[in-house]
Amino acid sequence: MRKKVSIVGAGNVGATAAHWITSKELADVVLIDIMEGVPQGKGLDLREAMPVEKRDSNVIGTNDYADTANSDIVVITAGIPRKPGMSRDDLLNTNHKIMQDVVSKVVKYSPNCIIIVVSNPLDAMAQAAYKMSGFSRNRVIGMAGVLDSARFRTFIADELKVSVENVTAFVLGGHGDTMVPLPRYSTVAGIPITELMDKETIARLVDRTRNGGAEIVKYLKTGSAYYAPSASTVEMVEAILKDKKKIMPCAVYLEGEYGVDGLFVGVPVKLGANGVEEIIQIKLTDEEQAEVNRSAAAVKELVGVIGV
């Protein structure tokens, strides 16, 4: 029996994640959205691509959460983007209400699933989903660090003119301006980038990573990134479905790790069949720890607004 992944939100990120999952033949996919016709149309279109791709993954599009029943993983991409004139608190409160509706239905139909949150503001929405679901902390995970690290890896590979396959990178902390790229733990074929670039170059790449999403929004003007976010989400999905025990940076609920208690913050974790199977604690310098603390404080401010 094939695994089942439901994706809440049939916009660019959700639909593209469905594409990656089916093209890898990882699972059957249920694409759900409140917009009538949109998930059905995209789901059918994607299913009709399977004979060409020679994949047997099934895809259905729906507006009914009953179709998502007994999902192994539920990916939540639903939410609205920030619009002109909208304050951060407006965005937070609107997406929090959407998350309340979504999570209650996810829990009803798939009480044993693992939830991956992609909706923004990421860390606050992951914390909201965790508190509302009542799930153990290993079963609610935020996707941010995989994406941020992928962007950092891209920029490092471009700068050094090497294969992206040679580059590893770690980005900790919250998703946004306060993220914490760690050059000491970022390597090219095992060599720390601190030995391959000067401080000014590294600082430039770190800054570009922090503003990676905004850079794409500036180009697109009316939208935001979706290829890299969806691919990053599916890397997490694959690690869980295949029980890979893969270490990657994800937003998880910390209970004292890294000096943070009671907040979702991005840290390296081991992902496997049970979701978060281990939180990997690495040694940080005083400066790096201070940056993680600043990032956690920014998350605390956001969750305070919505009371989670």
In the predicted structure, residue 294 carries a pLDDT above the cut 90: yes
Q: What is the pLDDT of residues 213-266, one digit of tens each?
A: 889 989 998 888 999 999 999 999 999 999 999 999 999 999 999 999 999 999
> What is the percent of the chain with per-residue pLDDT over 90, rounded to a whole number?
88
Stretch 271-286: mean pLDDT: 96
- Report the top-level CATH class of 145-306: alpha beta
How far apart (Å, rounded) are the C-alpha atoms in residues 195 and 261?
A: 34
Domain residue ranges of the chain, discontinuous segments joined by +: 4-142, 145-306
Using 50, 70 and 90 to split pLDDT, how confident is the model at 174?
confident
4-142 architecture in CATH? Answer: 3-Layer(aba) Sandwich (3.40)
Tens digits of residue pLDDT in 90-141? 889 999 999 999 999 999 999 999 999 999 899 999 999 999 999 999 999 9
Annotation marks residue 175 as catalytic: yes
pLDDT band at 177 (very low <50, low <70, confident <90, very high): confident
| pLDDT at 222 (0 to 100) | 84
**Tokens standing for 109?**
């139909």
pLDDT score, position 31: 98
User: What is residue 86's predicted lDDT score, i.e. its pLDDT?
Assistant: 64
Q: Which residue from 139, 175, 151, 150 is spatially nearest to 251, judged by alpha carbons?
A: 175
pLDDT above 90 (res 175): no
Percent of the chain with pLDDT over 70: 98
CB 29 within 8 A of CB 7: yes
Please state, in angstroms and rounded to a whole number, the distance separating the CA atoms of residues 258 and 254. Answer: 8
Do 273 and 243 touch, CB atoms closer than 8 A?
Answer: yes
**Quick one: pLDDT at residue 89?**
74
pLDDT band of 83, cuts 50, 70, 90 = low
> Out of 96, 175, 210, 270, which one is annotated catalytic?
175
pLDDT confidence tier of residue 80, bands split at 50, 70 and 90: confident
CA–CA distance, 141 with 124 (Å, rounded to integer): 12
pTM higher than 0.85, yes or no?
Answer: yes
